[in-house]
Amino acid sequence: MLASEKHLPAEGWKYTVFIIKHNIMAITRGEILLALHSALLGEIYGSIRAIVFEYKPDKKYFKLRYYLDREPTEDDFENAAVTTTEFISTFKFSEFDTIEEECIYTNVPLSKIEALDGAVYLRKEDEFGNLSLDGGYA
Residue 114's pLDDT band, with cuts at 50, 70 and 90, is very high
Q: Which domains does the chain have, with CATH numbers?
A: 29-122 (3.30.70.1350)
* 3-state secondary structure (DSSP) of residue 122: strand
CA 106/CA 86 separation, integer angstroms: 26
Q: What is the per-residue pLDDT for 135?
A: 52
pTM, 2 dp? 0.76
- Identify whether the C-beta of residue 115 lies closer than 8 Å to the C-beta of residue 52: yes
Give me the DSSP letters along 40-78.
Answer: TTTT--TTEEEEEEEEEGGGTEEEEEEEESS---HHHHH
Q: Which residues contact 127 (CB under 8 A, 6 or more apart)?
A: 109, 111, 136
pLDDT tier, 45 (very low <50, low <70, confident <90, very high otherwise): very high
Q: What is the pLDDT of residue 127?
A: 76
**116 versus 27: which is more confidently predicted?**
116
- pLDDT score recorded for residue 93: 74
Smallest CA-to-CA distance from 76 within 65, 90, 91 is with 65
pLDDT(13) > 80: no
Mean pLDDT throughout 98-122? 94
How do residues 99-110 score in pLDDT, each as one tens digit? 999 999 999 999
Residue among 57, 49, 42 nearest 117 (CA): 57
**Distance (Å, rounded) from C-alpha 20 to C-alpha 49?**
46
Q: Give the model's pLDDT for residue 113.
A: 93
Q: How far apart are CA 123 and CA 49, in angstroms?
A: 5
Confidence tier at 94 by pLDDT (50, 70, 90): confident
